[in-house]
Structure formats: C-alpha cells, structure tokens
Chains A and B, each alone.
Chain A
Amino acid sequence: MVNLSLIIELTKRDFTERFAGSILGFWWSFIWPLVNLFIYIVIFGQLMGGRLPGSSNIYAYSVYLSAGLIPWSAFANALTRSSSVFLDKRHIITKIRVALPSLLIYIILSETITFIITLGLLFVFLFVTHWSFSFHLILLPFIYYLQCLFVFGLGLFFATLTVFLRDLKEVVGIILQLWFWFTPIVYVKDILPDFVKKIIIYNPAFVLIESYQRIFVFHDAPAMRSVLLLTILVHIWILIAYIIFRNLEKDVRDFL
C-alpha cells in the first residue's frame, strides 16, 4: 500500500539534494529557520515595535508571530509542494510501481523535519527569555499531526487534479496567499470586525493556528470543540480525496 523504504529514501534525498554542492550542506537547514526567527523576533517584534494587546511582555508579539508563522510555513510549503508532486515525480512514477500517496507522505515528512528544527530554535529562544510553559504543550504533537492530515487530504485532492489541470498549481499558490491574510497570524483576532469574527471560526487554518498561539502565548488549551470538529472534518475530507484519487488513479498514471 505505502512503500516505507521509498518514503524514507525520498525524504533523505530531499534534504541532501536541497543543499547539494554547498559548503555548509545540512547546516543550511538550521540557518534558514534561524534567519526566519530573527526576522519574526528582532525585526517585527523589536525594531518595528509590535506589541500584543493585553500583554506587557516585550517578547509576547514575537512569540505570537513565531507560534503562527512556523506552523503556517510548514502547512503552506507542504501543500504547495504536494499539489504538484505527481507531476514533479513523474520520472519515478512512470518507471517503478509506486503507491502515489507515498509521495505526499515524503513531502509532509520532509517539511516536518524543518518544522521540528525551527520549533527547536524557538524553544531555545523561549528558554533564554525565561518564557513560561504550560502543560497544554503535550497537545502540540497532536495538533501538528492533525495539521499534517489536513495537508495530506488537501494535497491528495490537488495533486490528483493538477495532473489534468496544470493551472491548479498556481491557483493553490493564490489560495494560500489569500488564506494567510484571512487567518490571524500577523494580527490578532480582536481587531477584526464582528461579522468576520463570526465566520473566521469556520476557517480550518484558524483553528490550527489559534491552537498553537493559545498553547505558546496564552498558556491556554486549544478550543476543544473546534479541534474535535476539525478532526472529524479532516478525516471526512481525506476519505473524499481518497475516493476521488482512486477513481482517477488509472487516468493519472496514463496522463503522466
């Protein structure tokens, strides 16, 4: 069904190829997140003077920003790459019999490694600044796992359709750009008009991002009702995406 050794090999190759020929090699996977964190913390949080309403801590906005942007980057990168993975890896698909969903898993796995590295660096920063942690951190891996499942469902859907309609790859980029600004990541939910606040709870990315922000910044548990509902919806969506994929799998292979 899913080729585990192929997934591991592709994930390894994804990292080695990304930094192939460079002097620093694997260290670049630490340098990039470090630069991103520097931008979130120093540029946005300190130089631009971003402050979190209701908090006197000078690092509160930086942490709020990092808690939203780090998972969003993992989400957006994984979805962008997943949406064209069948086209990008057609040289593998046409040569060996491979379970196509495996290709999505390797992308999610690769983005997870980057996510863990960046999150690790954020934890270092939080320790250095004596930031307090709550027991709710125990839910962090499960929220991220739910996020990965959501990406898998969306990715499988778009990857299948992109084979027939290549413009979809660009459409995904535009959707993600709009989605980013419709999700309170760089701004707080409170500044939104009342009618937007009412509809924003139906934004799945909001449920996920808000969970990270509540855990890291507000030391609060995620909104459990929304998370439970999202868990059900994500699994229904994966089921729909898988049924569509199964019906079109033969055509996908022929088209490639």
Chain B
Amino acid sequence: MKFIIFLIIWTILAIIAGLSSVKFIKRHEKVYCLLVINGLYLLGVFWGYQILYLAQNP
C-alpha cells in the first residue's frame, strides 16, 4: 500500500517535472532534461519498490 501511494505521488511529480521542462527549456536541452527526469523516475520506482515493499515483505 505504501508503495502504491509513493508510486502515485512520484508519477505526478515526474509528469509535472516533464511538462515544465517541455514548456520552459529550449529544444536540445529539453531532451537531456527529459532524459534525466525519466531516469530518475524509473530509478525512484525500482528503488521505492525495494525499500517500501521488498524490505517489508521479504
């Protein structure tokens, strides 16, 4: 349950960050920025799963 709540919040944050970078950053820098956001999002999901679910349900 903790993981699902984390996942929803994390996804909303990633979408906000992604949309902001699309709106405010220039063409090529935008790609790099989106790549970083995307990477952090996925790392966060897997890490979050490890900490919030696997650690508590070994």
Which of A's residues lie within 8 Å of B, judged by CB? 1, 135, 138-139, 142, 145-146, 149, 221, 224, 227-228, 231-232, 235, 238-239, 242, 246
Contact = CB atoms under 8 A, between A and B. Distances in A.
B46 A235 contact: no
B28 A235 contact: no
B43 A221 contact: no
A87 to B, nearest CB: 23
Interface of B: 3-4, 7, 22, 27-28, 30-32, 35-36, 38-39, 42-43, 45-47, 49-50, 53-54, 57
Lowest 4 CB-CB distances: which A-B pairs, in order? A235-B39, A224-B50, A231-B42, A142-B45
A231 B27 contact: no
A145 B54 CA distance: 21
A228 B53 contact: no
A228 B30 contact: no
B32 A224 contact: no
B23 to A, nearest CB: 12
A224 B49 contact: yes
User: Taking chain B's interface residues, is the majority helix, strand, or loop, or is none over half, making it mixed?
Assistant: helix
Nearest to B22: A1
Contacts of A238: 35
A1 B34 CA distance: 12
Contact of A146 (B31, B42, B54): B42
Given A149-B38, A221-B54, A232-B39, A239 B32 contact: yes
Contacts, number: 47
A221 B49 contact: yes
Contact of A1 (B31, B45, B46, B53): B31
A77 to B, nearest CB: 23
A246 B28 contact: yes
Nearest to B49: A139
Contacts of B36: 235
A224 B35 CA distance: 21
Contacts of B4: 138
B54 A1 contact: no
A201 B13 CA distance: 33
Contacts of B39: 231-232, 235
Contacts of B32: 239
Contacts of B38: 149, 235
Contacts of A227: 46
Nearest to A228: B46
Given A232-B39, A235-B35, A242-B31, A135 B45 contact: no
A246 B54 CA distance: 41
Contacts of A242: 31, 35
